[in-house]
Structure 1
Amino acid sequence: MALDQTNSADEVLIALAPGPGALRHRLERAILEGIASGRLTPGTALPPSRALADTLGISRWVVTETYGHLVSKGVLDARTGSATRVAPPLADGGMAGPGPGPRPGGPVDAARPADATRPAGGAPEHAPRRATHDLAPGVPDLRHVPREAWLRAARDALAAATNDDLGGQPAAGHPAAREAVATHLRRARMTSGPDRAVVLSRGASDGMSRIAAALAAAGHTHLLVEDPSWAPLRDVAAAAGLVPVPVPVDHDGIATDRLRSQADRTGARAVLLTPAHQFPLGAALSEARRAAVLDWSREADGLVIEDDYDAEFRYDRRPVPALQGLDPDRVLLLGATSKTLAPAFGIGWMVVPERWRAAVLEVSMGRGPTPGPATLDQLTLARFVADGAFARHLRAARGRYARRRAALLAALDSELPGARVGGIAAGMHVTVDLAGLDLPGLDLPGVGTTRLDAAAVVREGAARDVALVDLRRYQVAPSAGSTVLVVGYGNLADARLAEAVGSLRAAVEAAAG
């Protein structure tokens, strides 16, 4: 089933090209590189000048001058009442438009839902009830799942499906769905590589289990992981026979010097990272450390697994492109719809380096005739993305989360003065360190000295139907004590936000007493 790949300008990610030079020249170079690499294809709508200026933190004049210059060269096409778009190529390889400029040459040198309660048999018997005040991280806004848009896409996909489409599915997934995912990731996350690099899965954990199995089959015995990090993916790797090796993180992301020393000690040649928004502490991997991780992977002949779990949601910082786009031969990107839509959709993807594709597909084929999500779900996703519904949903969700985050920060400042809040620039959760808490007129024995224990706050919160998570839940080797909570706001009802933070304060007071 062939689909027209339209796009919303809001899903196109453009970052300033690195290096010296005027901002206008760096922006122009970034656009030209995107066109040359094939990420920005003819007809792709670029973001409005005001929106792109706000995203990059630069003057709108820089954007309008850049767009105008590229229009004059025939690289871009601007028409009254329409978005600025990438101009189509001419038959001789040039660009259509008023200018004679040639087409640029070749290229210039991604926490999931909170754990379900499980019976002794392992799998949950039913979906867990969400707390009235859901402050657990990793769950999107379940009140705003795009049900109608998904149903329209499902009806259209089923109507257009061929008999062959309904007869089964390739191990890597349906070509239309892989094409839609690849196009979206190139535009929104600046990934690189052909459509065939995409392999569809039933979610991030399923994808990780296939990667881990392929690594184990290739002789890998250890996997470097961030500490703290999302525990279920570490557990999946361990189940495949890989020993998780913790590497500490700080405000710049994973500590690359410790990464090297742990790799030397254990012989590990693969690492699992969250470079766009470290889970759960919230840092973006710095430019220097991004380069250091890639240098290490080349020297070690290794693999970087990029968990791109919530990079679609960014607020007051410049966008962080996927690490995969910098070295598609060494970085495998892992993503899913669990954060952008809902966990129940059960669709994930991997962008797999060519050298690992056969091994991952071999693992996939060993899991039965339908290793990925149902074919009809894949076709629905393809239609949902191609028609622009996915981009519209993400745009609305970003605005909703940004407003909710601002309200949450104000409420935390009022109810928990002195608490240090971190990881606020992106995602759907923040960290709240209670160590410096100062509640005037209230006797809180032990605060600031023997330290208030976050685990006690979690227990008191549960008694008040408030879902909270202690940072220790994500540590490889939990520390003896913690004052840090990981507070999610994705599934927090706006009308109950003040009440939820008030209940959090009550839980803190009870734990301190």
Structure 2
Amino acid sequence: MTESWVNSAQRIGVDLHLELPATGGRRAALIAALRDAVVDGRLPPGTRLPPYRSLAADLGVARNTVADAYAELVAEGRLTARQGSGTRVADRAEPVRAAARTPKKSPPRARVPRHDLRQGAPDASEFPRAAWAASYRRALQSAPSEAFGPGDPAGRPELREALAEYLARARGVRTEPGRIVICSGFAHALRLLFGQGRTGGGVLRGPLAVEAYGLGFHRQLLATAGVRTVPLPLDEGGALVDRLGRERAVLLTPAHQFPTGGPLHAERRATVVDWARARDGVVLEDDYDGEFRYDRKPVGAVQGLDPERVIFIGSVSKSLSPALRLGWMVLPERYVDAVLAAKGEREAWASVPEQLALADFVVSGSYDRHVRRMRQRYRHRRDRLVEALAAHAPHVRVTGVAAGLHAVLRLPPGTEASTVKAATWHGVALDGLGAFRHPDTDMAARDGLVVGYATPPEHAYAAAVDALCAVLPPP
């Protein structure tokens, strides 16, 4: 039988885990255990070992047993002992022994693309590190002590107050802090609204009308929750909301339809709100990139037309970084308590320090400054893409570029699959338009590419655009 011993080593600040047999020679066992830890790499070169007395007390052995074990390994060249610096693991020439003797077959790895033109992410190299760090420091220094204990499932009041002011000013949202619930992003919001699984309950029930083109991940999430989705056809004015029938709710991207582009027509905005009132239904408004508009006036939130019939959902995934995992729901009053109950245990709540930092980032004006700067940067990238296509592939029509972080390239019929394959072969990662098509829609399929122009770092953008132009089909 083997006993596990853990050395607290409080005087040197490291923990050392060794396994010694319950019976038998302790000196030989300790030498073997230390030798294995060094050879396997669990004790890397330079690691300072506990003093004799500390390790002996933790292992329940004599002090001389530890001294003899150290001396043996010093003689082998695995440890060094110097006056004033204690006993340390020596620099060793032999390689670290493999943890497993049986060779394992590694799964094939996907080829890493040289140029990433996939939609859905901002330029990670442009994250405002200095401004965010300043907000983080200020937030931690001024936060009350109770902020670091059990909190409110709705989220920190500082952030909800900051968002209520910002969303009213920038997006035309009509709300108050008590109707805002902080979540970790749009997918988390859907899980809270529709349940975690087929038996997970939820605040809303299906069927749910969705746009004929949208994220398949969201459809899969809803299907897992037992929610049937009904596709609505699209045209240049957005979803054909006059086709809504007996559904209980509808999910729209009215500021900038994803992925085809363009805002929901003003008359259709009014129509969908009237439908929700007549059906006692609700509109889910996905405001995924509403801040980034270039060639048109700002399109306000549908939520502003009727705050009691629209659930407005947003996040910082496009404006700052998806790594922050911070989003929000602006809810009609009748849904607030149910959503908070669905949120449940604290493990699902967003990080409090990051909520406080975002609140400071918004209130200080840093968020507005960052969005304005990135709006100019992304518009310039959009223009470069359009100009390059006009010069090298004038037969390819570019749409959906008045706002957002991606463009749709219309391709000749029957060329989408081969173009995506060619792009992959040449190290260009992008999405075909067909990947976003609802499988149950009777809307005619469209060949095209969804090209994200925000993801590549600035120094790599020109090469990415050139590589894209090189794989486009001829006229």
The TM tier, using the shorter chain, reads: 0.7 to 0.9
- Structure 2 distance, partners of 1:481, 1:423, is 17
Task: Work out the CA distance in 1 between the residues paired with 2:425 and 2:112.
Answer: 14
Match of 1:393 among 360, 363, 370: 370
**Aligned amino acid, residue 465 of structure 1:** G
Q: Is the 8 A contact 1:202 1:348 kept in 2?
A: yes
- Specify the alignment match of 1:242 in structure 2: 227
- Where does residue 409 of structure 1 map in the other structure? 386
Aligned AA (2:268): R
Q: Percent identity?
A: 41
| 2:453 match | 489
The alignment status of 1:154 with 2:136, answered yes or no, reads: yes
CA deviation after TM superposition for structure 1 residue 129, in Å: 9.3
State the alpha-carbon separation in 2 of the partners of residues 159 and 149 from structure 1.
16
1:459-483 per-residue CA deviation (whole Å, 9 max, x = no partner) reads 2111222111001111111889752
Residue type at the aligned position of 1:424: V
Provide runs of 4+ in structure 1 moved above 6 Å.
478-481
Distance 2:111 2:281 in 1: 41
Within 5 Å, give how 1:281-430 maps onto structure 2.
281-365=260-344, 368-430=345-407
> AA paired with 1:209?
R
Q: Distance in 2 between matches of 1:218 and 1:153?
A: 35
Q: Any idea what SS the aligned residue of 1:421 has?
A: strand
Distance across 1 between alignment mates of 2:285 and 2:309: 10
Deviation at 1:498, TM superposition (A): 3.5
Secondary structure (helix, strand or coil) at the match of 2:233 reads strand
Q: Which residue of 2 aligns with 1:119?
A: none
State the SS of the aligned residue for 1:272: strand
Q: Which residue of 2 aligns with 1:254?
A: 239
Instruction: Measure, in 2, the Cα distance between the counterparts of 1:277 and 1:458.
Output: 24
The answer on whether the counterparts of 2:194 and 2:203 sit within 8 Å (CA) in structure 1 is: no
Q: Partner amino acid for 1:230?
A: L
Query: How much has 1:394 moved relative to structure 2?
Result: 0.4
Instruction: Give the partner amino acid of 1:317.
Output: R
Q: Distance in 1 between matches of 2:274 and 2:257?
A: 20
> Structure 2 vs 1, CA of residues 482 and 248 (structure 1 numbering), >3 Å: closer, same or farther?
closer
Q: Which structure is larger by alpha-carbon Rg, 1 or 2?
A: 2
For 1:219 and 1:164, how far apart are their aligned partners in 2? 33
1:141 to 119, 123, 129: 123
For 1:223, the aligned partner's letter is L
Residue 313 of structure 1 aligns to a residue whose secondary structure is coil
Q: What is the 5 A alignment of 1:461-472? A: 461-472=423-434
Q: Which residue type is aligned with residue 486 of structure 1? A: V
Say whether the 8 Å CA contact 1:225–1:246 is kept in structure 2: yes
Q: Which AA in structure 2 matches 1:172? A: A
Task: State how far apart, in whole Å, the 1-side matches of 2:446 and 2:247 are.
Answer: 29
| Alpha carbons of structure 1 residues 481 and 191: separation in structure 2 relative to 1, 3 Å | closer
Change beyond 3 A, Cα 1:410–1:466: same
Number of paired residues? 362
Structure 2 partner of 1:131: 113
Matched residue type, 2:471: A
Distance in structure 1 (CA, Å) of the matches to 2:165 and 2:174 = 10
Residue 198 of structure 1 deviates from its aligned partner by 0.6
The secondary structure found in structure 1 opposite 2:380 is: helix
User: TM-score, with normalisation over the residues of structure 2?
Assistant: 0.73
Q: Is the contact made by 2:203 and 2:335 (CA closer than 8 Å) also made in structure 1? A: no
* Cα RMSD (Å): 2.2
Distance 1:472 1:415 in 2: 24
Read off the aligned partner of 2:422 and give its amino acid letter.
Answer: E
Paired with 2:370 and 2:452, the residues of 1 have a C-alpha distance of 20
Q: 1:220, CA displacement in angstroms?
A: 2.2
The 8 Å contact of residues 247 and 254 in structure 1, kept in 2 or not, is answered as: yes
TM-score by length of 1: 0.67
Match of 2:174 in 1: 192
1:323-373 deviations in Å (ceiling 9; x for gaps): 1111100000011111001110110100011011111111012xx124321
Which whole-Å deviations, capped at 9, do the CAs of 1:83-141 have from their partners, x for residues lacking one?
Answer: xxxxxxxxxxxxxxxxxxxxxxxxxxxxxxxxxxxxxxxxxxxxx99733221111111
Distance 1:130 1:379, change over 3 A: farther
Residue 454 of structure 1 aligns to which amino acid in structure 2? E
* Structure 1 position 455 matched with structure 2 position 417: yes
Secondary structure of the residue that 1:164 maps to in structure 2? helix
For 1:456, give the aligned amino acid.
S
Q: Distance in 2 between matches of 1:196 and 1:231?
A: 32
Give the aligned partner of residue 476 of structure 1.
Answer: 438
Measure how far apart 1:219 and its partner are: 6.8
Deviation at 1:218? 5.5
Rounded Cα–Cα distance in structure 1 between residues aligned with 2:416 and 2:118: 14
Tell me if 1:506 matches 2:464.
Answer: no
**Alignment gaps of 5+ in structure 2:** 1-109
| CA distance in 2: counterparts of 1:288 and 1:216, whole angstroms | 34
What is the CA–CA distance in structure 2 between the aligned matches of 1:134 and 1:281, rounded to whole Å?
A: 20
SS of residue matched to 2:346? coil
After superposition, the Cα gap between the structure-2 partners of 1:296 and 1:455, relative to the gap in structure 1 and judged at 3 Å, is same
